Each structure stands twice: as C-alpha cells, then as structure tokens.
Chains A and B, each alone.
Chain A
Amino acid sequence: MIAVVLCLAVMGALQLLTPFWWWIMIVPFVFGAAGAGSGRKAFWTGFIAAGLLWLGAGLFFMLSGSRIIAGRMAGMFGLGSGWLMVPVTALVAALAGAIAGYAGHAARGLFKRSR
C-alpha cells in the first residue's frame, strides 16, 4: 500500500514537471529493482500505481473540459463514447507499469545472482 502511494506520488510529480510519459514505466521499474519483495508485488504495485495515476488524471480532465477532445479521440479509435477513453488510458498505463515493475524485479534477480 505504501509502495503504491509512494510510486504514485513520485510518478505524478515527475509527470507534472516534465513532458515525458514514460515515468509510469521507469518508476515501477526502479521500485521493482530496488524495493519490491516479490515479482508479484512489483507487478501489482506498477499496475495499480500507474493505472490509478492515469485513471485519476484522465477522469480529472474528462470532468474539467476535455470531454470534446475525448469524444473526438474515441471517434478516431472507433470507440463509441469519449468516456471509454478513460479506462483505455488507465489500462495502457496499468499494463505498462505492471510489466515494467515485474521486469525491474526480475532484473534485480539477475544482478543478485551474478554477484
């Protein structure tokens, strides 16, 4: 739980300060490599933290003036409603964060054994 909150806060801050999307992979990766007790924990921490961050941010913008553009993007992707862009956004982040977290943990495993 603390790990999720910590990851989420760090990712959110870095995303606000820089224009890069990939903090949602880097931060879980680092967490997985440095602090996660297990691959499963690394996976789910990345999944929940990245997913929640983009879900929350997507919802925030959806409710604060981005409904028109979300509707147009949904049209571009062939989806029926702009609201669907929120779960799509969250899911992409969650999967990217999860895989990155798991890969971080696995990478640490490699490193440990080689030492």
Chain B
Amino acid sequence: MKTVRAVVSLLLAGLIFWALDNRHGTFPALGRLLDPFSGFWRNGEGVDRIPEKLVVPGLREEVRIVWDDRRVPHIFAANDRDLYLAQGWVAASLRLWQMEFQALYTAGRISEVVGPIGLRQDIFNRRFGLVWGAENAQRAMRQDTETREAIEAFTAGVNAYIRSLGRKRLPVEYKIFDYRPEPWTELKCALLLKAMSYTLASGNRDAAMTAARDALGEETVDRLFPFFPPLVEPVIPPGTVFEREGSAPPAGGGGAAGTDGTAGRRREMAASRGLAPSIPPADGCPEPPALFSSGFLPGPGVGSNNWAVSGKRTRSGFPILCNDMHLELALPAIWYEVQLAAPGVNVRGVAFPSAPTVIAGYNQDVAWGFTNAGSDVLDWYAVTFKDDARDEYLYGGEWRKTTVREETIKVRGGRPVVDRVIHTHHGPIVRWPDEPPFPGMSVPAGAALRWLAHDASNEFATLYALNRARNYEDYAEALASWDCPAQNIVFADGEGTIAISHNGKFPLRRKGQGRYILDGSDPSDDWPGWVPHEHVPAVKDPERGFVGSANQLYAGPGYPYYLGWDYAPFERGARINEILASMSDITPEDMVRMQADVVDIRARAVLPRLLSLIEGRPMSGTETACYESLRAWDFEALAGSAAPAVFSELWSALNRLTWDDEKKGDMGRMPWPASEILVDLVLNDPGSEFFDDRTTPERETLADIAEGAFRAAAAGLEKAHGPLGPAWHWGQVKGTRLGHLGRIPGFGREGLETDGAGHVVNAIDRAWAPSWRMVVELGPEVRAWGNYPGGQSGHPGSRRYDDFVDDWAAGRAYELVFLKSADEPHPAVAARTVMRGKR
C-alpha cells in the first residue's frame, strides 16, 4: 500500500512538474510564467527606469541619450557607426519582441514559435519569396559603404542588448510563448523592407479581374474599372508639363497611347500555337483570415495622406508639410519616435524598430513624408509545364528549365517541413491547383509571381540621404535609389520649395498590361525595361501653392507612361485639395485640425439624390428614424452620431444591389468598382443598365435600388444593434481596436470610439488608421507636431505602452522636441543616459 502511495505521489509530482514547466498547445508554461522571481511579475514598470550609465560593447566614443517626457530618445553620437549602434540598442530595449516577431513572421518562421498552426502562413511567406527578396536586398545594402556600416552597427547594437538580457528581463511575450531571442542579423533589417513591400506593393486583383474579363468582356471591365476614373484628382496637378524627351517606349511596350487590345492579341497568339495556358479562374471562396499579424498586412485600409503647402499660403511664410500614414493598428505600435544626431546629421521623426535611420521626419532644413503609390509592380504569369515533374516550362516556343529553392520550415513540437519552391525566370509559383487558398491573398493557382520586391535594391540609401538632406537637390538625388515599395514622397524645405514625387522603380508596360494574369510563355508579356527615374511623375512648386497625395491615380492622360490602374478612390484626395485650395494664412494648428477632418464627401455627393428618391415612400418606424438622421446629417463621420453608420450600411447595400447581380458564369465574386464609379452613376446616369437587377424580369432603375438599399440598411442595423439608439453610434458600430501583434487577449486596446472613416481624411477605420500623424513647419526654427496610436515602449507592463492612444483617437498632437545638442536645456527633458563602450 505504501509503495503504491509512494509511486502515485511521485508520479503526480512529476506530472505537475512537467505540466508547469511546458507549454500545452497555446497554453503557456504556468510555472515559469507565474514565477514571481523570473516570470511575468518581473515585467512591470521597472522597464521604464532609465539608467544613467550604460556599457554598450562596440561603441567607439561616448553616446549621450536625452529622453524627453514622452519617452522619446534623442541620441547624440560622435560618428555614424556609434549613432546606429546606439539606435539598435535603444530600439531593442523598447521593442525587442516586436522586432523579432515581425522578422520571424516575414521570414516564414512563425511555426518555430507557435507550432503547426503557423505552418500555412510560413509556407505562403516562403513561396511568396520574402526571404529571397530580403537576401537580394541585403546584398545591395552591403555594396554601399554607408548603408553597410549603418546596418552592421545597428545589428551590433541590437545584439549587444540581447546579450545583456537574462531570463528575468526577457520581454513578457517571450515568457508567454516560451522561447528566447536569437541573435539579430542584417537580413532581418532587409526583411523589414520586404514586409513593407508586402503591405504596400503586393496588392493585386489580377485573378479576380481576369475572371471578370472572361465572364463580362473587356469592354465592360474597362467601363467599370477605367484607367482615368471620374472625380479622381491625380497626385500631379493638371497642367504639369512632363518631360517626354527620351521617353519613347521600347518596341511593343510602354505608352499610354498603346491601346492595342493586348488581352485579345495574347489569347490569339497562344491559341495559334495550340498551347493556350489554362488561366485559372479566381477562387470563389474568400481567403481565410490571417492567424497572426505581422503589423504589416496588406489590406483595404492601406492608404495615407500627405501634403505640403508653400509659404505663399502660410502665416509664417514658410512651407508646412503634413503626413499621416495609414496602416493596420497594432500594439506594440508599428513606429517609435526618435531623434538621431551625429556630425553631418540631426534628424527627428519616426522609425521602424527593426531598422536604422529615421523613416519619415524632418531635420533643420527639410521635411519629408510618404503615402503609398499603389502602382503595379506585381504580375502573375500563367505557366505551362511540360509535365507533372514541373522541371520544364514553355517560354518563347521552347522548354526552359525551372529552378528549385528548398525551404526548410522548422515546426515547434513537430517535424521540419521541406517545401520545394519552383521558380521560373518570372519568379516563384506560389500556389498549386491542388492546394487550398492562402490566408489573406487570392493567388492564381499554378501562376508564377513577378514582383519587383524580389529584385535587389537599397532603399536604406534613400533614407540615409534624406536624413541628411539640406535642400531640394539632395531630396531629388536621394529618391533615385528608392525602388520598392513605390511611394508618393512629399517634400518641403526651409528655402521655400515644396515637391512631390510618385517615386519608385516602374516596369515599362503596355496600357493595361498586368491588370490580368499574363501569359508566362510569351516573351512579349515580360517587363521589357524600366521607366527612367527622371521620368517618374513628379512636381515641384506648382502654381496652386500646394502638393498632396492620398494614394490616388498618379497623373492625368498627359503623362506618357502607364504605371497601373488600381488606386485609392477619389474622396480623401479630393477633400484634401478642396480644403487646401480654400485656405490661406495657414498655421500648423490648422493643419493638425485638418488631419482630423471627418467630412465625408462621398455622402455629401450622393446623399441628397438618394434621399430625394426615397422621400414620401411608406416607411416603418426605424426607417423613418434612419431617414431623419440622414436628412439632418452634416456629413461629418463623428463617433457620437448614428448617421455615418446608417450611410455606411446604405452604401454597402447600394453596392451589393448594383453590382452583385452583374456576375456571370463561374467568375466567383463580382469585384466592386471604386466608389467614384457608383457616385458618378448615381449623379449622372440613374437609368444605367447596372442598376437593373438582372435576376428579375422588370427593369429597375436607381430609384428602385436606392429604396431597396435603404430598407436593407435599416433592417441590417436594427438586427445587429436593436432599435435606433446609442448602440447605432458610429464609434460603437465601427469599434476601432488595436490588437496585440501576437494576438494575446488583454494585450491590446478594444472598443475605442473614434471619429473618422476609411475614406475621409481622418482615416480611422476599424483596424486601419493613421499610424503616424506629423505636421512640420519649416523655417529658421523648425517646429513640428505629431502623434501615433501606441506608446514608445513595446512592453505591455510599461506605462508607456499605449499612453498616446487616447490623444491620438481624439485627434490631438504633441509638439515634438527637437534638440540642437545633448546639452540643450529643454523643459521637456526627463532623463539622460550616457553610453560607453567600456566601463
């Protein structure tokens, strides 16, 4: 009996030990996590203490860090190497877990942390060539002396920090997921650029558009998805003269005039060889949602605003530059603020934790900012393989060899998975016909991916130079090395210049080339070359006294190259131009307010017409209340008002009823045209055939569709939120949230009630929003304001984890501290740290 008791109790003790010392699925190792001596309890506000002295191995000279009262580090070094080494250390001390998690995610290594549930995402990221592209970028970075030194020093700084950490001080997410940081590498800095490119330059609807063309015909597609849509005001203002010299497109390529019906020609060519590749239809089923966030996911909310006004329009007589970049909301925040100073550079702004330099910001002389360009740098090529071995494919009438890149994915708690990624000269095949859809992107099965982000490029060279720019010439020169993701880079300097450039490396294309899946066997479908950098759409000091962009079309028909077709709808761009054109004597405070502008010009354009069509129809109580709320609305998307929620539902229903019945054959979902197409039809063509519901024998017009949409909206809202009341308020219906990067419950911020909407200037949507707002007034004393949704620290136990969120949600900005030297007395200085290489 005693023996049994002893054996049972020993087994029980062993079991408890094992249970508390190990993770179980996603459940953490409780013993280690709860241990007050080295578990989560140690991740409190102690992390907010700033050391006066630090030994950071590798530093050559002393580095001084001044911390302001918002925990922004102002780093003063004696040379570039020390500067970026210190930046690496500081970034890691604030955001180590986020840096590594994003790098692992991008590299397709998340299964190493989360186990088999991450496998599908990892396979996708490997197939998509993110690591391949990062390896190419790393080589390019190393060829440039300055960027090589910056990346090396940054990497050394991160690693010095990692080496200084014991288990007790590990960021809490390591304790929850139960793993340890590995050494940082230069490749991880390069992976960041690829994550950015994936977010900003991988969006494509090639598969859906191909299916739509095959079902509806090219003419209908061109009507619904025009190259020059109505209402859109291009980035480059009308009247701008484009340099045409030397811009003659190569034979068979380029040129907006090339309306040669490429798709039909291509199909004929392929058919004449009897080798028509089977262009796969778009998947009818939606992609499953992504499991985790890298903080860098592409999505409908990708967008941004930037503008600069010339001194002619400002009170100070000097330019003001503004920028707010819209990204997926997440905690830890995607940006952190920093000032970097060394001989030859003193720059302030925001940086990504995973890379050296300031990304968007200003110095004493210039300021710059970004919006995504959205031009087409990603194409899918249908590939004809010789046989199932897939080692040869057809190209130019001959069989070419494929190459294979073997990707080994380590899986926590499982066997490694080896994935053979097959490459053609176009690029990798991402999904095979027998595979299920990937999370987050519609990938045409069996097609090869040609993506600019795979090509070697060194965008850090641009950032390095912009950080040190003194004037317009420096800016223009810096932009030449920025390939991908293409950006509308806005600029202003203290001499009074304002400028914007739709900047990046763009393939020469026939008009419309790449809108549909291309023929991988036809050499004339390859990219024949590049738009010369001096010909990218750009403007300096335009007559109207301001430049700006909101991800819309780059330029009107006068521009001689075709760069893409799928740009942001008209609202934000048109509203920005409308406000700026009406303003004079502009102050920075005006600009901070303008970044929080919530006027919905889509609603303003269509609502009077829609309401007039349903006026006088019999209505239920809820419908009457909806009607009245819309009629009384001033078109401002405010959190405390029900009307924006009603309009949002009404607009969705109007789209659904207008477009969904246009679908034909096996084309899957009908892709909805941009908002300006429907706005244009509502205003100018109420009898349009598109308003006819093809499922009924009657001929419907806008009046019928508007009434049906209105009733559907009222019913939908009532079903979801009960009778019209506070639960209908836009802030609640929208429910803005900042999710934790690792999707840990309790580590984000839920249920923020915010003004704004995706298509108004203050573009706070549910999960996408302005990720950094900045207003910079140039002049003898540069002044700037900014804010972002988050806090400087990535530690969830820190007071600085999310302390900017409420001010950000309310549209408030902080005046940014910009120091001339480490000794400058400033009321906002909170602490100082001296770093030395040796004790």
Point out residues on A near B: beta carbons under 8 Å: 15-16, 19-22, 25, 29, 54, 57-58, 60-62, 64-76, 78, 85, 88-89, 92-93, 95-96, 99-100, 102-103, 106-107, 109-110, 113
Contacts of A21 in B (CB 8 A): 20-21, 31-32, 34-35, 37-39
Nearest CB of chain A from residue B181's CB, rounded to whole Å: 15
Which of B252-260, B350-358, B742-750 contacts the other chain? B742-750
B43's partner among A66, A74, A106, A109 (CB-CB below 8 A) is A66
B799 at the interface (CB under 8 A from A): yes
> A107–B799 Cα gap in the complex (Å)?
48
Q: A66-B43, A76-B744, A109-B6 are in contact. Are A25 and B166 (CB under 8 A)?
A: no
Contact B9 A102 (CB under 8 A): yes
Contact B41 A113 (CB under 8 A): no
Contact B745 A76 (CB under 8 A): yes
Contacts of B44 in A (CB 8 A): 61, 64-69
> A89–B7 Cα gap in the complex (Å)?
27
B168's partner among A19, A58, A67, A93 (CB-CB below 8 A) is A19
B17's partner among A16, A22, A58, A64 (CB-CB below 8 A) is A22
Nearest CB of chain B from residue A74's CB, rounded to whole Å: 7
> A26–B376 Cα gap in the complex (Å)?
62
Contact A25 B3 (CB under 8 A): no
Name A68's closest neighbour in chain B (CB-CB): B797
Name A56's closest neighbour in chain B (CB-CB): B36
Contact B747 A110 (CB under 8 A): no
Nearest CB of chain B from residue A105's CB, rounded to whole Å: 8
Contacts of A54 in B (CB 8 A): 34-36
Most chain B CB neighbours (cut-off 10 Å) among A19, A54, A102, A107 = A19
B478 at the interface (CB under 8 A from A): no
Q: A68-B798, A75-B746 are in contact. Are A99 and B9 (CB under 8 A)?
A: yes
Contact B6 A73 (CB under 8 A): no
Contact B167 A22 (CB under 8 A): no
> A93–B32 Cα gap in the complex (Å)?
11
Contact A69 B12 (CB under 8 A): no
Nearest CB of chain B from residue A115's CB, rounded to whole Å: 14
Q: A21-B38, A92-B30 are in contact. Are A99 and B797 (CB under 8 A)?
A: no
> A113–B798 Cα gap in the complex (Å)?
55
Q: A88-B34, A100-B13, A109-B2 are in contact. Are A76 and B46 (CB under 8 A)?
A: no
B172 at the interface (CB under 8 A from A): yes
Nearest CB of chain A from residue B292's CB, rounded to whole Å: 16
28 contacts between A and B (CB under 8 A): A20-B38, A21-B37, A25-B16, A54-B34, A61-B41, A61-B42, A62-B41, A66-B42, A68-B44, A68-B45, A69-B40, A69-B172, A69-B797, A92-B30, A92-B34, A95-B16, A96-B20, A96-B31, A99-B16, A100-B17, A102-B9, A103-B12, A106-B6, A107-B10, A109-B2, A110-B2, A110-B6, A113-B2
> A89–B797 Cα gap in the complex (Å)?
17
Nearest CB of chain A from residue B802's CB, rounded to whole Å: 10
Contact B21 A22 (CB under 8 A): yes
Most chain B CB neighbours (cut-off 10 Å) among A71, A76, A89 = A76
> A19–B46 Cα gap in the complex (Å)?
18
> A19–B35 Cα gap in the complex (Å)?
9
A89's partner among B12, B34, B46, B745 (CB-CB below 8 A) is B34
Cβ < 8 Å to A, chain B residues 30-73: 30-32, 34-46
Name A62's closest neighbour in chain B (CB-CB): B41
Contact B3 A72 (CB under 8 A): no
> A35–B42 Cα gap in the complex (Å)?
33
> A21–B20 Cα gap in the complex (Å)?
9
> A60–B34 Cα gap in the complex (Å)?
14
B796 at the interface (CB under 8 A from A): yes
Interface of B is mostly: helix
Q: A61-B36, A66-B43, A68-B796 are in contact. Are A110 and B3 (CB under 8 A)?
A: yes
Nearest CB of chain B from residue A64's CB, rounded to whole Å: 7
Contact B41 A75 (CB under 8 A): no
Contacts of A89 in B (CB 8 A): 34, 36, 41
Q: A61-B42, A76-B176, A113-B2 are in contact. Are A15 and B31 (CB under 8 A)?
A: no
B265 at the interface (CB under 8 A from A): no
Nearest CB of chain A from residue B392's CB, rounded to whole Å: 52
> A69–B38 Cα gap in the complex (Å)?
14
Nearest CB of chain B from residue A45's CB, rounded to whole Å: 14
Contacts of A74 in B (CB 8 A): 746
10 nearest interchain CB pairs?
A75-B746, A69-B797, A66-B44, A57-B36, A103-B13, A21-B35, A65-B45, A106-B6, A19-B167, A65-B44
> A20–B3 Cα gap in the complex (Å)?
30
Contacts of A64 in B (CB 8 A): 44
B415 at the interface (CB under 8 A from A): no
Nearest CB of chain A from residue B501's CB, rounded to whole Å: 43
Contacts of A78 in B (CB 8 A): 745
> A24–B458 Cα gap in the complex (Å)?
53
Name A103's closest neighbour in chain B (CB-CB): B13
Contacts of A29 in B (CB 8 A): 13
Most chain A CB neighbours (cut-off 10 Å) among B12, B13, B36, B38 = B36
Nearest CB of chain B from residue A84's CB, rounded to whole Å: 12
> A64–B21 Cα gap in the complex (Å)?
27
Contact B747 A75 (CB under 8 A): yes
Contacts of B32 in A (CB 8 A): 21
Name A11's closest neighbour in chain B (CB-CB): B37
B5 at the interface (CB under 8 A from A): yes
> A20–B167 Cα gap in the complex (Å)?
9
Contacts of B31 in A (CB 8 A): 21-22, 92, 96
Nearest CB of chain A from residue B122's CB, rounded to whole Å: 24
Name A64's closest neighbour in chain B (CB-CB): B44
Contact B37 A57 (CB under 8 A): yes
> A69–B12 Cα gap in the complex (Å)?
31
Contact B38 A19 (CB under 8 A): yes
Contacts of A60 in B (CB 8 A): 36
Contacts A61-B41, A92-B34 known; 12 new A-B pairs at CB < 8 A: A19-B37, A21-B32, A21-B37, A25-B16, A70-B41, A72-B797, A73-B40, A75-B747, A76-B176, A102-B13, A103-B9, A110-B3
Name A21's closest neighbour in chain B (CB-CB): B35
A16's partner among B16, B37, B744, B796 (CB-CB below 8 A) is B37
Contacts of A85 in B (CB 8 A): 34
> A109–B42 Cα gap in the complex (Å)?
39
Contact B6 A107 (CB under 8 A): yes
Contact A65 B46 (CB under 8 A): yes
Name A59's closest neighbour in chain B (CB-CB): B36
Name B746's closest neighbour in chain A (CB-CB): A75
Contact A66 B797 (CB under 8 A): yes
> A107–B10 Cα gap in the complex (Å)?
7
Name A53's closest neighbour in chain B (CB-CB): B36
Cβ < 8 Å to A, chain B residues 160-179: 166-168, 172, 176
Nearest CB of chain A from residue B466's CB, rounded to whole Å: 37
Nearest CB of chain B from residue A27's CB, rounded to whole Å: 13
Q: A25-B17, A68-B796, A106-B5 are in contact. Are A75 and B39 (CB under 8 A)?
A: no
Contact A72 B747 (CB under 8 A): yes
Contacts of B796 in A (CB 8 A): 68-69, 72
> A2–B32 Cα gap in the complex (Å)?
28
Contact A25 B168 (CB under 8 A): no
Contacts of B2 in A (CB 8 A): 106, 109-110, 113
Name B796's closest neighbour in chain A (CB-CB): A72
Q: A99-B16, A107-B10, A113-B2 are in contact. Are A68 and B799 (CB under 8 A)?
A: yes
Contact B37 A15 (CB under 8 A): yes
> A78–B9 Cα gap in the complex (Å)?
31
> A20–B38 Cα gap in the complex (Å)?
8
Q: A64-B44, A76-B176, A88-B34 are in contact. Are A19 and B166 (CB under 8 A)?
A: yes
Nearest CB of chain A from residue B25's CB, rounded to whole Å: 15
Contacts of A20 in B (CB 8 A): 38
> A47–B172 Cα gap in the complex (Å)?
27
Contact A15 B35 (CB under 8 A): yes
Most chain B CB neighbours (cut-off 10 Å) among A20, A73, A99 = A73
Contacts of B744 in A (CB 8 A): 76
Nearest CB of chain A from residue B52's CB, rounded to whole Å: 19
